[in-house]
Each structure stands twice: as structure tokens, then as C-alpha cells.
A and B are shown apart, each in its own frame.
Chain A
Amino acid sequence: MIKKFKDAFGIYNVEHQRQGDALTLKVGGRNLEVNFDLSQPPRCILSVANRRWVGYAVQRNGRLFLHIDGREKVFAIVSEDDEYRQKGAAGAGDLSVVAPMPGTVIKILVEPGQRVKPNQPLAIVEAMKMENEVRASGEAVVKQILAAPGEQVGFGQELIELAPPTADEAQSASK
């Protein structure tokens, strides 16, 4: 049986087989044989030869939150649907400017049509009483302002739409 897990570094295809309290894994050319005891979830005791580890694992919203040997690890569970979506969504470089945290927009520092340099502050978002600057990731032109001062914004909400400067020039030339 094969299961797929994903983290920031990539996808792991894990070939595994369970038999009683033994689990055999094959991943990235490595083989691992562990015995396990998960009679008290979310606790799971893993053993390899004469060593034991106490791990914890909880699944939520397609993600696995794990703790093993003093470290936390989060994997996304990859389903066939996800893979299909991923292939379809391969697009151009992302210039969107999003709220780095839930908070309140304090100030928008740019205007539509304005040219911005990499790292230029574009907006100030306040969260937990701290002001945080949202900066441009690269050279671009402000296409649209999508949030107003005073507005409550959620994590990842788009604040400003940027366009690549070359695309913008091409656009104005064609008018």
C-alpha cells in the first residue's frame, strides 16, 4: 500500500505494509521496520530493535500533526484530487500582496498605477497592537487596491494587486 505525504520540501511516497504490530516502510530507497503500540491514541509507541520512542499523532483537515523524538512535524496528506489540482494550477509567478496575519489595515502606502521597487513598503497592517509593513516582493506596478484603511483582514487576504512592470508597459503601448 502506498501513502503520500507532503511537506515544504516535497512529496514522500511511502510504501508500507502492516502485519499485526509490525510496520514495514519503504521510502526514498530506505527500508524501515518498526513495531508499534497505539492502544492509547493519540499516543503511539514505536520501537526499532532495542529502542523506543513515544510519538503523538493527530489528523485534522487533511493534515497530520506529529511529535516524535522531541520534534514536531506536520505533513499534508496527499490525495489523488490534490495532485490533479496541483498540475492544473501551475501558473505565472505570484505578485499578489497578502495580509501576513489577521489584523487591521492601518495605511495603504501606494496608489494604482504606481511603480514599486522590491522590498518597498506597500501597506501597514496592525495585529496584536504591532504595526507590520507589507512589502513588495519584486519590481511591479500597482494594478488595484483591494483593502481600505480600517478594514479587518484575514490571514492571506489579498490587499493589493500588482502587475509585472513589463506587462504593464505592453498594455499601455497597445492602447
Chain B
Amino acid sequence: MTNPFSKVLIANRGEIAVRIIRACRELGLKAVAVYSEVDRNARHVREADEAYLIGPAPAAESYLKIERLIETAHKSGCQAVHPGYGFLAENAEFARLVTESGLVFIGSSPESIRLLGDKVESRRTMARAGIPIIPGTADETDFSDAALIKLAANIDFPVLVKAAGGGGGKGMRAVYEPSELPSAIQSARREAQSAFGNPTVYIEKLIKNPRHIEFQIFGDTKGNRVHLFERECSIQRRHQKIIEESPSPALTPELRRQMGQTAVMVAEAAGYYNAGTVEFLLDENKNYYFLEVNTRIQVEHPVTEMVVGVDLVMEQMRVAMGGELSWDQSDLYQRGHSIEARIYAEDAAAGFLPSAGPVLHCEEPRGPGVRFDNGVETGDEITVYYDPIIAKLICWAPTRAGAIIRALQALDRTILLGVGTNIEFLKAVLKRATFASGDYHTGFIGEHLANWTPEPLTWEQHDLALALACLAVRKNYTEVESTSAAGIAEPWAQIGHWEICGGAR
């Protein structure tokens, strides 16, 4: 088939936009970035061939502005749009409007995205296709508070209230007592409305201590479909993944084969093509249940890329150009082990509150088996307007133990001065014996690191830091001018006056 596009608009920002720009380059395609006012000089803007302003900082006025994105794509001579993840990536209306305006949408069909984006509808479809689903709302059509409360009464508590319109833990509430259900439904509805524009919520039985295991699927428009094995995503905080790995330590070859087959069946039931992810829960008895399909490239896609030896983003573009899948199922196998650690701008010791600030100095780790997908460089600013993900560290090694060690070493060499990050928290996870054993579930952080605080520096490290401090306060040393807005609290202002060292006072 002839090449139907040579210039791609990337309707996203941050590390994923940078990642997609690279894939465009490698395929000889031109990449067009879009940006909000606060992202004027962001890394994705710098790395693109061209960049266009689409609006003010709030995402609703920029990265979520469908008409403006489509208009910009046409104006800049693009023939295709890549949505990345987040923002409009799973918005069926966006996919439809992009396609109707004559552009190629790099993703699945609007119909599949709509079907799978509606978690209630997709549960119904999968149940009919013989795919195991978690007990809960299935064929019901009444989603009023009263109907949900009635349904929940027929399931053993605890139950989950979940948003029909989305995932990522938004609009989701775990309810342990029937008396808590009405207020949980209310709160989940509000959050779902705000996050997905859809207040519909449904009920699902809460599976105790599950593992979250997902399968990468890929299809072309000719009806070929494969899976690219699993990613283990059970290390989550506030229902958001922070560490992913492949292969999953929980799967036997037989279970992996079964789940992989089920994942392809899910793709077939939904008529799905391009890259997608079938999420499963695995219970303590190793029963697996269909959870949902993410109809986009995932944050954690590099884990699969490293273990299977493929480029998923490039494949997305090839398939979107009408090409056939590059692989048959029999071409695909897992080799070695890969672990991803997501670096977030957040304070892990204070309930994972988002942090913001300038990146005063950035050093990316390098070395054999080390990949660092990064959205920022020295001099960039992390704002509170968008998802707090800054970068992803992905390490590969022949063995799982080797990948863990490699990731720890690389985190020691990951430097992001000026903005609070979760780097120390990630190290704490990787160092836990339970993590090393591979026998963990989604409750891991709550059970092992609920009251985590950073390990204190050793005396040697502390003294070296003070030596560095003495050298750095000199005038001719790097001083970055203050540009940040007022109102950023100085934590030191809240701390009592202590005298540790004695001496000069």
C-alpha cells in the first residue's frame, strides 16, 4: 500500500510526545508538536519539526481542544494525528472527528474506542463472548443510586464503585460497609464527571489482593491480531502504576498462554486494531478476570518493547498507514526481563502530593540495558497543570534480579534537582524483599510502605553534602534567578528552631 502520510501531528506533551517524535524521525516522517502557553519552550516543542500554540495552560483550553487540534493538523499540512496517552487518547469522538476531517487517526476505530471506553458496555460484550469478568453490573440498564445499592446488596461486600467512563482510579471507591455506599457513589460520580465528563458509575466485586496483569495486543486492519505478552503492573499508589515489569513473576507458561489467547479473543470481540492493552486481575487462586481494554499506547509500553524486541510506536504508524502487522504470533517471544520505574513530580512522603518547580539540573542515567524516556531537560519547568509524570526509567537484564539491580543503580544516577520527585520511593520499592520475591499484589505499597519516609543520608553522605553546600553558596557558583510565582511555601518556615551542631552561636 502506498504511504498515506508523511507528517504527523502529536496531540500530546511531555515524555510521550518526545517518544512519538522519535518514532516519526526513524520512519522519515515529519513531526508537528502542539503546546499550551506554559509549554512554549517545552522539550517536545524543541524536538518537533514544527510547533503550534493551541491555547492557555489548562488542558481543557489547550490539549483537550478537539477543533483546534484538527484545525492545526490541517493548517500545518499533517495527514495523521497521534494522540499519545491521556488527554484525548481514548476519546472516541476525537477519533471520529479526526477521521471524518480526512486525517488518519493513529489508533483503533472510533467504534472500538467507544465500545471499550464504556466500561459497562465492554463488560457486557466480553461476558457474551465467554470472557471471564468480575461479578457485578453486567446486563443492568439502571444506574441510579438506588439500583446500584440494590445490586451491591446481592454481592458480598467489599465492592468497588467504578466510573463507566474511564480508569486510572479516578471515580473509583472501595466500599467495605453497606452504610458507606451512598456517599461513595456520590463522590465517585462527582470525580467521574470531572475526569471523564460522564457521571455513570457501576458496581463490581472487590477482588482481594489481586495482581494487575495486562497483555499488550496489536492488530492491523486486515484482521491479523497478536498479543505481545504481559506486563505486571501491581505496584500502584492511589491506583496508579509506578513500577511495571515483564515477564510477570506470577504467571506460569500455561497461564501466560491462556491469558494471551483470551487477550486476543478480547481484541476480536471488539473488532480492535492498532495497539491496545487488555487488563486482567489475577486473584489469589490464579483465576483471571477481564478488567478493561486501554485503547491507546500505554505509559509502560517500553517494558514490552525491551523484552519482546519491538517498537510499538513505529508499528502503530505502520498499521495506521494500512500496512500488515510485522509479526505473526510465532515470531514473538520474551527475552530476559524488563522493569520500568515511573518518575513523578510528587512528594511520596506526604501522600504523593504533586510537586512543581523548575528543573535546575537534569542528568539522565545511561549504560547497558538502560533506557530513559524523558520529557524534560535542565531549565524546563514542571507545572501543576498536567499529569505529574516526568520521565520513565526502563531497565533490561537477562534475569529479573539483574534488572532490579540495574534499575537501582540507574536511579542513583538519575538527577532532577529543583523539583521533588519520587526517586527515593521507587528505590524503596525495588529494595523490598517482598518485591524481590516476586510474590506481591496491588496492596503492596499500602502494606509495606504506607508510612514511608526517605532513608536518612549516611553521615558520610551528609558531610559530603555539607561540603558541597559550602562550595556552592559562593557567589560565582550557579545561582538560578527566581522566577516562580509567590505562594510556594517554604517548608523550612514551618520547622522549629533546632540546634544540632553547636559551635558558633
Q: Tell me the smallest distance from the CB of A120 to a CB of chain B, in Å.
A: 14
Is B464 at the interface (CB under 8 A from chain A)?
yes
Is A64 at the interface (CB under 8 A from chain B)?
yes
Taking a contact as CB atoms closer than 8 A, the residue among B360, B487, B494, B504 that contacts A58 in the complex is B360
Give Cα distance in the complex from A2 to B128, angstroms. Answer: 75
Identify the closest chain B residue to A61 (Cβ): B482
* B505 engages A13 (CB within 8 Å): yes
Identify the closest chain A residue to B408 (Cβ): A70
Q: Say yes or no: A66-B480 contact (C-beta < 8 A), given A36-B471, A56-B363, A127-B354.
A: no
Stretch at the interface among B72-80, B111-119, B409-417: B409-417
Is A14 at the interface (CB under 8 A from chain B)?
yes
Give Cα distance in the complex from A70 to B354, angstroms. Answer: 22
Q: Tell me the smallest distance from the CB of A171 to a CB of chain B, in Å.
A: 27
Q: Tell me the smallest distance from the CB of A58 to a CB of chain B, in Å.
A: 4
User: Which residues of A lie under 8 Å from residue B472 when comparing CB positions?
Assistant: 42, 44, 57-59, 64, 66
* B500 engages A10 (CB within 8 Å): yes
Is A175 at the interface (CB under 8 A from chain B)?
no
Identify the closest chain A residue to B485 (Cβ): A154
Interface residues on B, range: 35 or more
User: Which residues of A lie under 8 Å from residue B361 when comparing CB positions?
Assistant: 42, 56, 58, 65, 67
Is B433 at the interface (CB under 8 A from chain A)?
no
* A56 engages B467 (CB within 8 Å): no
By the criterion of a CB under 8 Å from any partner CB, how many residues of chain A are at the interface?
Answer: 74
Is B1 at the interface (CB under 8 A from chain A)?
no
User: Which residues of B lie under 8 Å from residue A127 when comparing CB positions?
Assistant: 354, 384
* B479 engages A60 (CB within 8 Å): yes
* B388 engages A128 (CB within 8 Å): yes
Q: Tell me the smallest distance from the CB of B378 to a CB of chain A, in Å.
A: 9
User: Which residues of B lie under 8 Å from residue A73 when comparing CB positions?
Assistant: 457, 461-462, 465
Give Cα distance in the complex from A57 to B479, angstroms. Answer: 9
Contact with B along A51-94 (1 / 0, CB 8 A): 00101111111001111111111011100000100110010001
Stretch at the interface among B187-195, B207-215, B263-271, B443-451: B187-195
User: Which residues of A lie under 8 Å from residue B421 when comparing CB positions?
Assistant: 72
Is B484 at the interface (CB under 8 A from chain A)?
yes
Identify the closest chain B residue to A102 (Cβ): B384
**Interface of chain B residues 437 through 463 with chain A (CB within 8 A):** 457, 459-463
The listed residue with most A CB atoms (<10 A of its CB), out of B360, B386, B479, is B360
User: Which residues of A lie under 8 Å from residue B462 when comparing CB positions?
Assistant: 73
Contact with B along A82-118 (1 / 0, CB 8 A): 0100110010001000001111001000000000000
Q: Say yes or no: A60-B473 contact (C-beta < 8 A), given A11-B497, A11-B498, A126-B194.
A: no
The listed residue with most A CB atoms (<10 A of its CB), out of B415, B484, B488, B502, is B415
Taking a contact as CB atoms closer than 8 A, the residue among A12, A38, A106 that contacts B471 in the complex is A38
Give Cα distance in the complex from A7 to B361, angstroms. Answer: 20
Query: B interface vs A, CB < 8 Å?
Result: 169-170, 187, 190-191, 194-195, 238, 350-351, 353-354, 356, 358, 360-361, 363, 384, 386-388, 411-413, 415, 417-418, 421, 423-424, 457, 459-473, 477-482, 484, 487-492, 494-495, 497-505
Query: A interface vs B, CB < 8 Å?
Result: 2-16, 18, 23, 25-30, 32, 34, 36, 38, 41-42, 44, 46, 53, 55-61, 64-73, 75-77, 83, 86-87, 90, 94, 100-103, 106, 124, 126-132, 154-157
Would you give 12 A-B contacts (Cβ < 8 Å), ordered by A? Answer: A2-B503, A34-B467, A41-B477, A55-B465, A56-B361, A60-B482, A65-B360, A72-B417, A72-B424, A94-B494, A106-B190, A128-B354
Q: A64-B469, A68-B464 are in contact. List 13 more A-B contacts (CB 8 A).
A: A5-B469, A12-B501, A25-B470, A27-B463, A38-B471, A57-B471, A61-B484, A66-B465, A68-B461, A69-B461, A77-B473, A128-B384, A130-B191
| The 6 residue pairs across chains A and B that have the minimum distance between CB atoms | A70-B412, A57-B472, A10-B498, A10-B500, A156-B489, A65-B417
